[in-house]
Each structure stands twice: as structure tokens, then as C-alpha cells.
């Protein structure tokens, strides 16, 4: 088992949340698929390995993980939540052509990351994203 997964499992155990095979499978899926999948994509990806898993279990597990800071929910598309294994502060890039979402690093000098309060407002989460055309799609355009 990967050390990162072991640490996140231990965090939940410390908080009194029992681990189940389904919970581990959802977390492992997110660890292995850094594509910012939707709950439906996670469900479809786990069905073959865990035929008895339900959509409700996947949704409930993701909500549990969000509450405990194990994953982040990102909203870069209208009405379509995606889930990110990375919980550190970073930005996302959504390619309008292929629909993929990429992680972008936020410079440590970003004022929103240095300050807890901005213009009198308490910053609790930093979730900016940008849209455009990804480098793979741009290369396809140039090659065509």
C-alpha cells in the first residue's frame, strides 16, 4: 500500500471513522486517476472490481472524504463536480476542446495564499481555475 494512502487511512481512523473496502477503493481510485474524475466516473471505474458498490456509496464516501479533508471537490464545469486527490492549494486548467482538467501550480508568492484575510474577508479556500486549449490539443491543431 502506498504511504500516502496509509496516512489518509490513519487520519480517518484517528477520527473514529471505520475503514471499509469501498472507502479504500474510492480513495485508491482517486490516487491512481489524477484526472479529476466525477463521482459517476469513479463509480463506473470501480464496478468491475466491486460489483456490489452503489452510486450512493461512492457519493457518500466522497462527501465523507471532503468533510475530513482527504479530497477536494472542484467545480470547473457548470453542475458537474469533480474530485481531486490533491488537497494542497493549486489551480486548475480546463481545456475547452478535449475537456481534460490539469493541475497548475500556484506560486507561493500569491497574496491569497500568504494572507488569511483579504479586504476584510476571511479566506477559507482558494479555488481559481482557468480555461483555454491544452498543449496536447494545440499540438494536434498545429500538426493538422
Residues 10, 26 within the same domain: yes
Which of 65, 84, 103 finishes a domain?
A: 84
Residue 117 domain boundaries: 91-143
Report pTM.
0.82
- Domain holding 70: CATH number? 1.10.10.10
pLDDT for 112: 63
Per-residue pLDDT, 78:
80
Given 84, 112, 127, the domain boundary residue is 84
Closest of 90, 66, 92, 88 to residue 77, by C-alpha: 92
Q: Is there a single domain that holds both residue 18 and residue 54? A: yes
CA distances from 124 to 10, 75, 104, 106, 121 (A): 25, 16, 19, 16, 9
pLDDT digits (tens), the chain, 144 positions: 689 999 999 999 999 999 899 999 999 999 999 999 999 999 999 999 999 999 999 999 999 999 999 999 998 888 889 999 999 878 888 898 999 999 888 765 676 666 666 667 777 766 678 889 999 999 999 998
Same domain, 10 and 80: yes
pLDDT of residue 92: 87
CB 82 within 8 A of CB 39: no
φ and ψ of 114, to 5 deg: -80, -30
Residues 64 and 104 in one domain: no
Q: Return d(Cα 131, Cα 119) in angstroms, integer.
A: 26
> What's the CA gap between 84 and 95, in Å, rounded?
17
Look up the CATH number of the domain holding residue 126: 3.30.1490
Amino acid at each position: 500500500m502506498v504511504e500516502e494512502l496509509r496516512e489518509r487511512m490513519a487520519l480517518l481512523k484517528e477520527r473514529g471513522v471505520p475503514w471499509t473496502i469501498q472507502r479504500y477503493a474510492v480513495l485508491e481510485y482517486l490516487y491512481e486517476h489524477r484526472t479529476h474524475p466525477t463521482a459517476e466516473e469513479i463509480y463506473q471505474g470501480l464496478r468491475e472490481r466491486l460489483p456490489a458498490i452503489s452510486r450512493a456509496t461512492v457519493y457518500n464516501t466522497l462527501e465523507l472524504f471532503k468533510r475530513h479533508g482527504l479530497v477536494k471537490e472542484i467545480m470547473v464545469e457548470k453542475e458537474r463536480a469533480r474530485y481531486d486527490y490533491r488537497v494542497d492549494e493549486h489551480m486548475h486548467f480546463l481545456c475547452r476542446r478535449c475537456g481534460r482538467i490539469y493541475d497548475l501550480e500556484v506560486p507561493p508568492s500569491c497574496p491569497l495564499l500568504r494572507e488569511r484575510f483579504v479586504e476584510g474577508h476571511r479566506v477559507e479556500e482558494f479555488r481559481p481555475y482557468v480555461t483555454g486549449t491544452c498543449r496536447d490539443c494545440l499540438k494536434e491543431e498545429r500538426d493538422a
